[in-house]
Amino acid sequence: MLTLKASYTVKPMEPSPTGLLYLSDFDLSVALTHGPVVYFYRPISGHLLNPIEILKNSLGKALTIFYPLAGRLQRTGRGRLEVNCNSMGALFLETESEAKISDFGDFTPTSKTRALIPSVDYNKPIDELPLLLVQVTNFSCGGISLGLGISHVLVDGRCAAHFVSEWARIARGEEPENLPFLDRTALKLEEDDLTPPRFGHLEFGKPPMLIGQKNNLEEQKKETTVVMLKLSKEQIKKLKKEANEFPSVYTSSKPFTRYEAVTAHMWRCTSKARLHEIEQLTSVRVGVDFHSRMVPPLPKHYFGNAVSPMRATTTSGELLSKPLGYGCSKIREAIEKVTDEYIRSSLAYMKREKDLSKFRYSHVVGSTQGAFLGNPNIVITSWISLPFCGVDFGWGKEIYIAPGAIPFDGRSFILPSRDEDGSFDAPFRLQVEHMDAFKKFFYENIMISSL
């Protein structure tokens, strides 16, 4: 049971630049929702520390630097949006809970964790919605959680982690270290640039559909559930070893990564659990960070979406009858497509679209808006290399950090576990009817791979 104690609007502490901020087509092809993240902290020792005041004051300073987060979105034409940097501020809630942190168990993202992050009504006019949502919850055990919702239109995972780390630095009384690069026109084609796209860009098309179905409405209605998958360092090593035993065209390239091996394993186990026909097309969507893939590279602290949503596709029959490395090779193929030329082609592709809003999908569980990315497909995002962990606002690093919600069937994140021992956690949402079989195949296969 949560009790709202206070609600604040936190604005930049000092006057910040005003005016309209350009959003790139990569910003405009993601959902209008807020990416939910929640940090859990142990009881704070030292009665002189007031986390609410520390967080509010330091947030005001952080928003002076990251001032677009204090603005509001507004619509232009062609489904486009821009940021009105008007210092309207962030929503900041203070809540209390009768629960203890231990009640959250392994921190599986559920409705209980989602309640630790402010929610907004997306039916309201877009220029009324804060772009940053903050909620501090005091638990009966003395611990606290910090729940954040950051507009996905403004940031990808890398930018969100950058903002939080700088905010924490300010809260500790230190100077900001890495200022954001806020000009997004690096990803803007000139008005007179009519170069046609050089590639087909299947990632912008509809994902595969179940054989025999004309639409995904039935699949979208099915009940889903979330599991927190745990992978030890040894299990990850086994998967990686198995993946790299596959003789492929990539043998001259670098070995398959932990992410590729784990993602391919999850893809195979999901297709098996869903009882796909052998000719069923299935895809896994992966996000490819292209900061350093562009020529010249984007500025190191570019503050905007710089992730290309790529799709690896094959048939379930091929995926399951071939070694694990086959799935890895399909994922690697999708990742390696992303070059400077490919990103510029993506921009040319999107520039020709009359309405960019069709590329957005909803993060809301049970929503029928946008493309359905579940059965027969999955979407897996890596947080392995993102600096989300180890955030200290002055009372020690978090116990745990995780996505606040896993929004739809087939959705997962792979994140380093809180033990910092090379193990992974992977919260995963799947239709209830397939979950038991999936878990059986997921762990059984790891055991088989070790023989």
Which residues carry out catalysis? 152, 392
Phi, psi of 47 (to 5 degrees): -70, -10
3-state helix/strand/coil string of 11-45: CCCCCCCCEEECCCHHHHCCCCCEEEEEEEECCCC
Residue pair 244/327 in contact (Cβ under 8 Å)? The answer is no
CA–CA dist 299, 181 (Å, integer) = 7
Dihedral angle at the C-alpha atoms of 86, 89, 91, 93, nearest 10 degrees? -170
Cα dist from 188 to 22, 84, 198, 344, 421, whole Å: 9, 18, 17, 9, 41
* Both tokens assigned to 330: 């399909």
Across 42-160, the runs of DSSP E, i.e. the strands, are: 72-75, 81-85, 90-97, 132-138, 144-151
- Tokens 């809003």: give the residue: 357
CA–CA dist 104, 113 (Å, integer) = 8
How many CB atoms sit inside 10 A of residue 272's CB? 19
- HSE-CB at 146 with a 13 A cutoff on CA atoms is 25
Estimate the crossing angle of helix 432-449 against helix 233-243, to 10 degrees.
80
Residue pair 351/25 in contact (Cβ under 8 Å)? The answer is yes
Residue pair 39/165 in contact (Cβ under 8 Å)? The answer is no
Dihedral angle at the C-alpha atoms of 228, 157, 319, 363, nearest 10 degrees? 70
Residue pair 98/220 in contact (Cβ under 8 Å)? The answer is no
